[in-house]
A and B are shown apart, each in its own frame.
Chain A
């Protein structure tokens, strides 16, 4: 399978990465190189094989469902580019 320019733009939008008109042909070539490299996986018979979900056999650790951490909003927002009263600021989303 290979991707065309329209698909490259669609993927970029899904990935929320702005791309310029000049970038699209390069990205198309590079993505197609990778897609053609992974094409060989189609040779493998995977009938009846379970997809891997956990690489080491282990049971998920569990703990009491309770609050164990928190209470420091100023630390949470300290690296944010724009904040007010310990809230993250974004452009208006709902009219």
Chain B
């Protein structure tokens, strides 16, 4: 029998139902794997007692024949989701001791469907980053290594050598799924934070349409862009998990009142007769030839499966990233105003209330977060609002119209690379110029700006043996087509062989 930690969610669900193993055994196998993988720094908090209690409850449900859609499935939860009574930090010092007295809608939906929580996952602070290097808990080590690299598990429990980043901001989620430390993980995506780490780690990640998933109880970064989604090892697993995470929520007015389709049923639909667009503006300078080759391969796979391929134009693509770096920091500066050292979180005393605020926030926020709050404050300040913020929101309208025109011409989905390069090493990017790091999101950020769904699917390895991903962008609320086309790519590429546990 396959190791329990190497099952897919679909296989585990079927095995539990057939009583081949119990939810308790499945949880125990994962707790042991997590225990041996501390050096990866993927989990910031492990909750084994909670996992075993939830697994026991699942075993009782299964015994009574009342198994729910995610019954007994052990998951990792990104530390951006508030979990009742369990420390939730957003990987920031400012929330270091925060124990929410409530549960986020996404996690509550998963528990209502029977899922089991293994712990909280590392991430970039407040989800601001593309490499997991901005976390107050330190970076996550990618389970992937370049061929012939010197990275190894050191004697002291510390990783030796220059390791790779897992991407970000959902770096802990992607690393945990790729290293078999959970069957699936929750993640969030504001500019690419699900799809870029999925591409870097050979996993599947979907950012659903804005409004598909409730944002209630998820620590806010940029409210008009943030959406939660799953990271899993297969397209089918992403479909199973997204269905449980989604749905209307009275507590979030931007969460739509639309029924959630049976995404798993869409996985086997195929792409026969679908029109897939290839946007010429995504052929950017400096894109690696391997990514170009992979993209071409993806086109051929979809064509062979019966899709019609058409070239399309999204003329405002190059302006999405600069517009994002106005809109997202502006919203962040407003959202993060709540961390004042008064109602919750870290406090540094001062001689008056203003000094208390200034010292608390200086001590609690990391460098990247401070930088973004300050940019946001500047672009919203008197005299600059129209020149920066209003202009960026107008450009956002143009970006959305680009997509609307393409879809009005009958295109069902758009195929692009997920990232311009494979994973890079820790400390390699953004130390001098923050924009160098931001360019990671060049292919993913347009999707958030337009509120559309996007999925990253592993499609091959580069010459160094590192995974590369393709992205499919869909019409609003048509995640089903993404699962159908994603499965075609997964079938054609073959499941990526994930790394052996060299860290254990």
Residues of A within 8 A of B (CB): 1, 3, 7-8, 11-19, 27, 30-31, 33-35, 37-42, 44, 46, 49-53, 55-56, 58, 60-61, 63, 72, 75, 77-82, 88, 90-93
Contacts and interface: CB of A to CB of B under 8 A. Distances in A.
A81 B347 CA distance: 7
Contacts of A38: 322-323, 325-326, 388, 392
A-B pairs with the 8 shortest C-beta distances?
Answer: A55-B451, A51-B393, A79-B344, A81-B347, A18-B362, A18-B358, A46-B394, A16-B357
Given A41-B322, A91-B350, A91-B356, A30 B371 contact: yes
Interface of B: 97-101, 209-211, 224, 250, 253-254, 256-257, 316, 318-319, 322-323, 325-326, 333, 337, 340-347, 349-359, 361-362, 365, 370-371, 373-375, 377-378, 381, 384, 387-388, 390-398, 400, 433-435, 438, 449-451, 476
A34 to B, nearest CB: 6
Contacts of A3: 378
Contacts of B361: 15-18
Given A3-B378, A40-B322, A80-B343, A56 B351 contact: no
B319 A34 contact: no
A72 B449 CA distance: 38
Given A40-B318, A41-B323, 20 more contacts: A1-B384, A7-B378, A15-B370, A16-B358, A17-B373, A18-B359, A18-B361, A31-B374, A34-B435, A37-B322, A38-B323, A42-B391, A46-B398, A49-B395, A52-B394, A56-B256, A56-B476, A77-B343, A88-B343, A93-B352
6 contacts: A37-B325, A58-B256, A75-B101, A79-B343, A80-B342, A92-B352
A82 B348 CA distance: 11
A92 B318 CA distance: 50
A90 to B, nearest CB: 5
B393 A56 contact: no
A33 B434 contact: yes
A27 B322 contact: no
A27 to B, nearest CB: 7
A17 B362 contact: yes
B365 A41 contact: no
A46 B210 CA distance: 24
